[in-house]
């Protein structure tokens, strides 16, 4: 998916919501356990209930890998079911030497090899250039680099002073030399909203994937105040607060309500910024 297609979708849906598919067998409604693949059944219903309200989906690979072969099949089936118009992100947070990154890229981007071809992947920048560039060999695919994460532990490394910059600033500066804002996004946690003004100095045009709204307590309003650009430039993710809004038979309706509430706030922010 191109940057322009993403922007068009944001304007059309009045939304920059990413629904996180962190699907956990221990948290999904009991009645789904009668289906051959409860995880896929859950995802299918969540997707049906939210696809007109969001512009992206983000299955987190850990939730699927943790069920072994069955989980991988659920992930493949989920990828196949995802709408073609949404930006479909695999949250894998991979990072390894080039030779190995080639294989990870193939696993998540090459449908003929693995049965999946996501539009974007989250990667960790710690191992540098050769660990990230293999993903960029795939035309039209996006790399989403961890910059300033929502986690408490973000202070351990990301705020280390490297001389002129914090490490997370140095990461953005360096990654900007690998590809432009049409191929690279950065992860910035919603819990770090006051840092967005600073982030925009280094990444004025890049889309930012912003997790941490909802269950982690980040504020959508603050994120927009400091992070929104003329093209929006934000994809705000919520996982648990949407998909586990209820664990009864009404779970998909409850997820829709939760997604709708975020979409409405996003429409207000897009109007405020003069984007729609
Ligand atoms: O890369 C991510 O998506 C990510 C980065 C980050 O800094 N913090 C973060 O929470 N995430 C992911 O975003 C999702 C947040 O889920 P909820 O807290 O349930 O909305 C999880 O899949 C996390 O792994």
Tell which one of 120, 237, 258, 259 to mutate to probe ligand 1, the residue whose CB is within 8 A of the most ligand atoms.
Answer: 237
User: Could you give the percent of the chain with pLDDT greater than 90?
Assistant: 99
Report angle CA 130, 20, 123 to the nearest 5 degrees: 5
* pTM for the model: 0.98
Question: What's the CA gap between 177 and 175, in Å, rounded?
Answer: 5
Centroid of ligand 1 to alpha carbon of 207 (angstroms): 16
- pLDDT mean over 201-216: 96
Residues 145-191: tens digit of each pLDDT: 999 999 999 999 999 999 999 999 999 999 999 999 999 999 999 99
Spell out where the chain has E strands. Answer: 17-21, 56-59, 87-94, 120-123, 142-148, 184-188, 208-211, 234-238
Q: How many domains does the chain have?
A: 1
CATH number at residue 32: 3.20.20.70
User: Bridge-partner residues for 88, per DSSP?
Assistant: 57
Domain encompassing residue 93: 3-272
- The predicted pLDDT at position 194 comes to 87
Q: Tens digits of per-residue pLDDT, 4-22?
A: 999 999 999 999 999 999 9
Pocket of ligand 1, candidates 54, 150, 171: which has the most ligand atoms within 8 Å of its Cβ, to mutate?
150
**Active site (annotated) includes residue 260:** no
**Which has the higher per-residue pLDDT, 194 or 176?**
176
| Ligand 1 neighbours by CB, cut-off 6 Å | 20, 22, 60, 91, 122, 149-151, 187, 189, 211-212, 214-216, 237-241
């Amino acid at each position: 998916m191109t940057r322009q297609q993403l922007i068009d979708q944001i304007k059309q849906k009045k939304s920059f919501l990413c629904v996180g598919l962190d699907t956990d067998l221990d948290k999904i409604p009991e009645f789904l356990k009668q289906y051959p693949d409860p995880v896929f059944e859950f995802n299918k219903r969540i997707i049906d209930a939210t696809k007109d309200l969001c512009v992206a989906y983000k299955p987190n690979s850990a939730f699927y890998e943790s069920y072994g072969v069955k989980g991988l099949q659920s992930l493949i089936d989920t990828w196949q079911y995802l709408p073609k118009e949404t930006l479909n992100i695999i949250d894998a947070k991979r990072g390894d030497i080039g030779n190995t990154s080639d294989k990870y890229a193939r696993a998540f981007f090459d449908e003929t090899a693995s049965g999946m071809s996501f539009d974007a992947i989250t990667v960790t920048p710690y191992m540098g250039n050769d660990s990230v560039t293999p993903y960029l060999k795939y035309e039209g695919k996006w790399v989403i680099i961890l910059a300033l994460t929502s986690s408490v532990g973000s202070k351990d490394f990301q705020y280390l002073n490297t001389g002129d910059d914090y490490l997370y600033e140095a990461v953005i500066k360096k990654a900007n030399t690998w590809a432009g804002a049409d191929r690279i996004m950065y992860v910035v946690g919603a819990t770090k909203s006051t840092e967005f003004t600073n982030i925009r100095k280094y990444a004025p045009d890049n889309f930012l994937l912003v997790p941490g709204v909802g269950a982690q307590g980040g504020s959508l309003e603050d994120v927009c105040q400091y992070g929104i650009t003329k093209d929006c430039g934000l994809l705000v993710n919520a996982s648990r607060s949407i998909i586990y809004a209820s664990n009864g038979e009404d779970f998909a309706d409850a997820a829709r309500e939760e997604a709708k509430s975020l979409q409405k706030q996003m429409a207000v922010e897009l109007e405020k910024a003069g984007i729609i």
